[in-house]
Structure 1
Amino acid sequence: MTILLSKKAITRTQAIIVIVIILIAAIATGVYFALISRPQTPTKNEIVIGCSLSLSGANSAQATNQLNAYKLWVDQVNEKGGLFVREYGTRLPIRLVVYDDAGDATTAVKLYGKLITEDKVDVLLGPYSSAVFFAVSTVAEKYHMPIIGPTAASNDIYTRGYNYTFIGQQTVSNWADAVVSYINSKSDLQKIAIAASSFRVAMMMASFVKEGIEGIDRELIFYEEYPTGTQDLTALVQKMKDNNPDAVISLGTLADNVLFVRTCKELNVNPKFFYIAVGYDAPQLLDTLGETAEGLCGMITFHVKLPYPGLEEFVEKYKSKYGLLPPSECADAYATCQIYQAAIESANSLNPESIKEALLQLDIMTIKGRFKYGEVNGARWINIYQVTYVGQVQNGTVELIWPRAYATSEEIYPKPPWR
């Protein structure tokens, strides 16, 4: 049977086919553009974290300690598969890039530029010392990269109005507040003597201590500065002895302080309160001075017996890995890594601006206590909960004696005779 379609029917059929084809094309086009415009999860295989450290030179021992703490944290994170970054929808392992700046600020500036522009790091860790950090923080500021200084305590670093420079420990002014408040608790400590070497941080601390002593109405009967590395302090110490101080404060490098203490012992200068900073909690101090250190007090920014969450585990793992108890620079470095980890996880991103904003919002507990960034007396960004302690050598061990709420032992006061 033959079916004959009219011209009108054929035209209608063709029109329907054309309409269907157009609809299919429109739907396909819509699906295509929907797919290509949908946000795609970016891909990334690792988090690259970088720094330079004084792995050679005068500060190599302390810088190596700092690096050891960085490595311990990286290992612990990577054992768990890395940090989860929601931006990438997965855990990312950490790769640590480290250069040796030999303690030279100019070298460190070049290396941090390389870390940012060539190594393309996601996160910057700070170098060792205030002097080097002061220089490299300018590089971080230029490239809008957050940077935390674990061992950079100088106040002048944080009074420049920088937006990307964060502290990782207590400020020098806070160090000074601790010893001044201790002196203020003793009514019989009226006559104060200060000897300060030209070491940058020592000079800054001396300035804050002098200001604090004046504020509590005590008499500064002796103040003298000397070049760091001086080999003979006999004349200075004899002059100080002639003023018969109740309290003696020695500010300098570890070597400066060792020489000062030995000279005081030789000349039988034995005040009621004998305080030294910095390097007081360094193992080398007790090893070098031995029994001479008994009763000496000094500046402490960290102690293994402090009651902070995770501290005991950190101490055990550090000792297991490196064979010794962690000194303060290790705790500073590890706490800095804890802060970064919290910021990255809070930001859900590795974007520097997002990390910076997350840092400013953090309020967390670290192995060094509570940490929250803010502005204090013109300094930014520092920990508004910072606490510095006064320690005392008792039976060959450094114990905390101030503030009393954190004391691990009763103080021995006045200082016992030299051994």
Structure 2
Amino acid sequence: MTSRRRILGTIPVLCAVLSGFASVPAMAQAAGPIRIGMTVSSAGAFALASQSGTRGVDIWVDEVNARGGIDVGGRKRKVELVKLDDRSDKQMVTRVYEKLIIDDKVDVLFGPFGSTLTGAAATVTERLGKFMVIWSAASDQIYQQGFKNIVSATQMPVSAVPSMSIELAAKLGFKKIAIPYSDEPFTAGMADASKKTAESHGMQVVMFDRYPKGQKDFSTALQKAKALGAEVFYPCSYESDLISMIGQMKQLNIYFPFTYIHYGSTPQFLEIGKDADYIYSQTLFHPDINWKVNAGYDREKFLAAYARLNPNASFAADFQTAQAYGAGVILEQMIAKAGSIDAAALKKAALELSGKLTVLPGEYAIDATGKQLKMVTPTMQVQPGKGLVAVWPPAVATNKPISPAPGWNERK
């Protein structure tokens, strides 16, 4: 049975790693475990990414409990993770986060995957006075609503996401860009940021078209982008849509000299094989990217833990797994520094730790709103015979970009 099927078959579940609890001193036992709630998407647009991230949280829980728990005011407290299903549904998220807080009485929460769901969850956690750690939501709008009890531990705001890749496209001499985007908060925000970034580099945005959630046929958009002379194809959407777009590009024999796919570095996307060649993407997690961590596992130990806990996983660890794991490590540091699980104390600790932690996916730093400032995302390219390699910025690049991409009929 695959790791993914295990998740789907056990949601909603109560997951706890409590081995050795009886050996903990009586005083620590009296304090009880720290209950941390989160939701996972068993189905829908966010399922693959959500489940990938959840495996990262599981690694952190295993690591913490193997050490006897988190030191909270001199007492070791283990972590008990409560997972419920949100089915990628915004309305369902609000009900489920209320249940986690009111019925399941969790102490702290991780956000769900993505800006759409996390924005909904934040309204609940704020109203009920609970602290929520965000690992995936990039929409700047979330941090503009005055929420006091949220922190993005490992996710840069969407306004910064396109900077590296569009800078590279401009450096390569491309002038015209097409930006189709899905009608979701994150993807719409990314599209707006991409348009502004492209224009700041002197590029002409020849297409800026929104499409409805659930659309499956992208042939019209692809043909329009090609007819308008786009050299850069920059769709802003989620994984399943992006995989469909590439398949339809090949069927229609449409290609662009520079194609950027935000989720093009994930194992799920790379399963399309040679059709992924020459595509640009981004990641925080790759052999070319090795931060000197001062909290949590380094890359080698993280991968060993992933293999141990997910021996039958359908997919390897990806940047979403690393982001969620890093968020757990940062939450542990917040709790230890605060000596408390009180929301205000945790936010204060989060600000005090800003600029002082480096975890698996990079450097942690936030502003007063809880928005992440430092988790940079280098631009990658899938190159034939080499796979995914870092090509920009020069500080981390291990290969030069292959540009322009050849047409479908010119590829071996």
Contact preservation (8 Å) 1:174, 1:388: no
CA deviation vs aligned residue, 1:277-304 (integer Å, no higher than 9, x gap):
2x222222221x3211110112334334
Contact preservation (8 Å) 2:45, 2:240: no
CA gap of 1:200–1:384, structure 2 versus 1, over 3 A, is: closer
* 1:312 and 2:300 matched: yes
Q: Which residue of 1 aligns with 2:225?
A: 240
Post-superposition offset of 1:193: 2.1
Post-superposition offset of 1:111: 2.3
* 1:337 and 2:328 matched: yes
Contact preservation (8 Å) 2:284, 2:319: yes
Corresponding residue to 1:109 among 82, 89, 94: 94
Q: Which structure has the greater CA radius of gyration?
A: 1
Q: Say which SS state the counterpart of residue 302 (structure 1) adopts.
A: coil
Of the two structures, which has the highest relative contact order with CA contacts closer than 8 Å and spacing of 6 or more? 2
CA distance in 1, matches of 2:334, 2:264: 32
Q: Which residue of 2 aligns with 1:299?
A: 282
CA distance in 1, matches of 2:130, 2:398: 39
* 1:210 and 2:195 matched: yes
Contact preservation (8 Å) 1:315, 1:325: no
Runs of 4+ with deviation above 6 angstroms: none
Corresponding residue to 1:98 among 70, 83, 88: 83
Contact preservation (8 Å) 1:65, 1:329: yes
* 1:165 and 2:154 matched: no
Corresponding residue to 1:155 among 140, 144, 148: 140
CA distance in 2, matches of 1:320, 1:129: 27
How big is the alpha-carbon RMSD for the aligned residues of Structure 1 and Structure 2?
Answer: 2.3
Contact preservation (8 Å) 2:28, 2:76: no
* 1:386 and 2:371 matched: no
CA distance in 2, matches of 1:102, 1:195: 25
CA deviation vs aligned residue, 1:103-148 (integer Å, no higher than 9, x gap):
2223222222232233332221111221111011111112322211
* 1:61 and 2:45 matched: no
Q: Which residue of 1 aligns with 2:23?
A: none
CA distance in 1, matches of 2:276, 2:29: 57
Contact preservation (8 Å) 2:40, 2:86: yes
Corresponding residue to 1:347 among 338, 353, 356: 338
Contact preservation (8 Å) 1:59, 1:103: yes
Post-superposition offset of 1:348: 2.1
Corresponding residue to 2:397 among 400, 404, 407: 407
Contact preservation (8 Å) 1:122, 1:352: no
CA gap of 1:219–1:366, structure 2 versus 1, over 3 A, is: same
Contact preservation (8 Å) 2:179, 2:191: yes
CA gap of 1:237–1:57, structure 2 versus 1, over 3 A, is: closer
Post-superposition offset of 1:196: 2.1
What is the count of residue pairs matched by the alignment?
A: 371
TM (norm. structure 2) is 0.83
Corresponding residue to 2:161 among 171, 175, 182: 175
Q: Which residue of 2 aligns with 1:365?
A: 358
Contact preservation (8 Å) 1:170, 1:301: no
Q: Which residue of 2 aligns with 1:131?
A: 116
CA distance in 2, matches of 1:77, 1:43: 18
Q: Which residue of 1 aligns with 2:255?
A: 270
CA distance in 1, matches of 2:182, 2:336: 43
CA gap of 1:314–1:54, structure 2 versus 1, over 3 A, is: same
CA distance in 1, matches of 2:384, 2:234: 21
Q: Which residue of 2 aligns with 1:32?
A: none
CA gap of 1:297–1:158, structure 2 versus 1, over 3 A, is: same
Post-superposition offset of 1:225: 2.9
* 1:284 and 2:277 matched: no
Contact preservation (8 Å) 1:343, 1:355: yes
* 1:46 and 2:33 matched: yes
CA distance in 1, matches of 2:110, 2:100: 11
Contact preservation (8 Å) 2:231, 2:258: yes
Moved more, 242-251 or 325-334: 242-251
Structure 1: runs of 5+ lacking an equivalent: 1-39
Post-superposition offset of 1:237: 2.1
